[in-house]
Amino acid sequence: MELALTFRRALLWLLLIGLFVAGTPAQAQVPPSITLEAQAGYDGAGAYRAFFWFPVAVTVTNDGRDSVGVLAWSVPGDAAGSFEYVLDLPRGARKRVVLPVVHNGLHNRARLTLRIDGERVAQESILLNPIGTERPTLAVISSDATVLNSLQAARFIPDAGTALVRLDPAMLPDDAALLAGLDAIFVHDLATDGLSSAQREALLLWTRLGGQLVIGGGLQAERTLTGLAELSPVDVGALRADAPAEALADVARRPDLAEELPPLTVNEVRLREGARPLDGAGLLTARVEGAGRVIFAAFDLAALRVWSGEAALWERALQIAPRAYIGPSFRWRGDNLLRDALQRGLVWLPSPWAVLALMAAYIVVIGPLNFLLLRRLRRIELAWITTPLIAIVALGLTYGGSLALRGPEARVVQVAIVQGFEGASTGQATAFFGIFSPGRQNYRLDFAPASLVTPSSLGSFEADPLTVRHEATSSSVPELLIDVGSFRTVMVEQTVGDVPQVQSDLRVEGGLLRGQVRLGGAVPLRDAQIVAGAASSAIGDLTPGTAALVELRLNQQNFPFEPLSRDSDLVYRNQVLTSLFGFDRFSLGNPSGQSQQGHPDERGVYLLGWIERPALPINVNNDGVGQLGEALVIIRLNHNGAQP
């Protein structure tokens, strides 16, 4: 009896243990309760410009168990690369992340999925509203959806329409590159004191890179200027009612429409340094900020909606001009700057004469020498053994020599273009990373967290799609497959804060640009030159703390084809300049590739020079790697010829 009782107890324990073990994985398989909310594009409704970065804001709510999710963005049926975002999702979490995205084409739909443990747990289909690169794109921030609707009728390019988007304040990014597709931004009644410092810095850098920022005044002046006071070209005073507005018809070059203009309530303004009025009544004031402008309208931007000349006014006032945006240009053309400019081979290769000598030696050894030696030994019949042995030894030596030449590790080289501005340490870097692989291997590439990695890699003359992943500590390419002895290029864009400090004292006198330029900091600039449009003048190497004299004839047409830079051991510097500025790469609309030699900002004066070190870091296979690199620095200078 006691034995039977013990046996039954053992069976009961085994049954309980089995139920526990069986229940544990079943519980683990219960999918978490996940919801996705997504807003894509500048307006949150899918508006984006082809070849330019745009934001996708995703809110993820987790009502289930603790999880780690992977958001994935892709375009169905498109061979382009995809984007991922890894985020931690503890139970009860509600997280909002911004995924930067770029598409090299016009797509109407995208797919957003969330995977946990490799299993898809949520999916959204996102409608997109693509804008072609040939259309100037203007954005309006306003609580009134009808303000400035007439801008769609403006014509900044003959035979090209204008795109108008309603910029969602919640989508205003903190990275200037995510605003690059917008040519102008109008701020109507945004409470700008709610903007973060990163958002204000992004607006400032976007403006300096060539954007046009228009700030509305009138009754909304205090609301719109609170967070943008440092950008304003004026100090704002009291309101004045029933001010005549006929001066705006002169700006629009439509004096026949002056009688239609209603009296306006305007702000009294006091011009800050560098600002000037655009009209005779001081209703519009502008100041140059880098390659762009900030315009203050002393009236409410909604006050002209009934005036038939509103589109013509802003068409004349904005003066939208070409902007030197490097990344979109290379995505549009698909060319490979690093391949075209790299001078130093990453692997030493024997000369053709050395290869011919080795081939001749092999022929002599396997033929005459082998025969003569066997005949001397009177063992000619051994030729069927010695001949393949010689071939095997030769193949082994060749393969071993090839391995020795290629080396055991990947090699990385970088050429970067850094755009900066006098008096500012923040700028925009576009870097081209080239990775040489000694063998066929997958590589993981890690960059700084804020880096924008184009989701394709360039080989010789082709592009392969990549997956770009954003994590808390890095932006990465999880897998880049490179074949034996192959070289691939990845393009990365990033805001940088270590642009060389420059001071200048320049003036235009009788067709000559004269003055001096002084370099600060601790890093020298090699082969520096002053450039204005298609005119350039060499000023040699600049060392920190020293000044160089400038005398440039503005009617020259020598840039970039007159070689003013010495080629380094790494890159053909003049080839880099020719690739950037030797043809129409940046003009409004789709560039022709045949004209507009020189820097596209013809009003600006620039200091160009070379820093002989990489501009951006990279990590290969979770390990620091030494890289060769150079950076072309392009700094816009202040001068007395710059007019708003």
pLDDT in tens, 335-371: 888 888 887 655 445 556 666 767 777 676 666 776 6
pLDDT for residue 7 = 45
What is the pTM assigned to this prediction? 0.86
Model confidence band, residue 205 (pLDDT cutoffs 50, 70, 90): very high
CA–CA distance, 435 with 443 (Å, rounded to integer)? 9
Model confidence band, residue 25 (pLDDT cutoffs 50, 70, 90): very low
Q: What is the mean pLDDT of the chain?
A: 85
Give the CA distances from residue 360 to residues 105, 369, 370, 403, 599, in Å, rounded to whole numbers and listed in that order.
53, 12, 14, 22, 53
- Which residues of the chain form CATH 3.40.50.880? 134-320
Give the CA distances from residue 418 to residues 98, 272, 581, in Å, rounded to whole numbers and listed in that order.
25, 29, 15
Closest CA to 387 of 399, 370, 374, 364: 370
Distance, C-alpha 594 to centroid of its chain: 24
pLDDT for residue 592 = 67
Say yes or no to pLDDT of 538 above 70.
Answer: yes
* Rounded average pLDDT over 1-22: 46
Are 324 and 586 in contact by the 8 Å Cβ rule? The answer is: yes
pLDDT for residue 78 = 67
pLDDT for residue 400 = 59
- Which residues of the chain form CATH 2.60.40.10? 34-130
The class level of CATH for 34-130 reads mainly beta
Say yes or no to pLDDT of 418 above 70.
Answer: yes
Among 156-170, 379-393, 544-558, the range scoring the smallest mean pLDDT is 379-393
Give the CA distances from residue 228 to residues 34, 125, 190, 222, in Å, rounded to whole numbers and listed in that order.
38, 36, 10, 10
Model confidence band, residue 597 (pLDDT cutoffs 50, 70, 90): confident
pLDDT for residue 595 = 67
**Residue 522 CB-density burial (10 A; 0-12 exposed, 13-18 middle, 19+ buried):** exposed
* Rounded average pLDDT over 128-150: 93
pLDDT for residue 8 = 52
* Rounded average pLDDT over 418-439: 91
Q: Where are the beta strands (DSSP E) in 90-227?
A: 94-101, 109-116, 119-127, 129-131, 137-141, 163-166, 184-187, 212-216
CATH fold of 134-320 reads Rossmann fold (3.40.50)
Model confidence band, residue 32 (pLDDT cutoffs 50, 70, 90): low
Say yes or no to pLDDT of 596 above 90.
Answer: no
258, two tokens: 């002056």
* Rounded average pLDDT over 120-138: 92
CA–CA distance, 600 with 410 (Å, rounded to integer)? 37
Asked whether the bond before 544 is cis by omega within 30 degrees of 0, the reply is no
Eight-class DSSP state of 31: P
Are 530 and 564 in contact by the 8 Å Cβ rule? The answer is: no
pLDDT for residue 11 = 45
State percent of the chain over pLDDT 90: 52
254, two tokens: 């439509």
Say yes or no to pLDDT of 624 above 90.
Answer: no
* Rounded average pLDDT over 440-451: 91
Distance, C-alpha 541 to centroid of its chain: 29
Are 58 and 70 in contact by the 8 Å Cβ rule? The answer is: no
CA–CA distance, 460 with 530 (Å, rounded to integer)? 33
pLDDT for residue 398 = 65
Residue-wise DSSP of 2-24: HHHHHHHHHHHHHHHHHHHHHHH
Say yes or no to pLDDT of 182 above 60.
Answer: yes
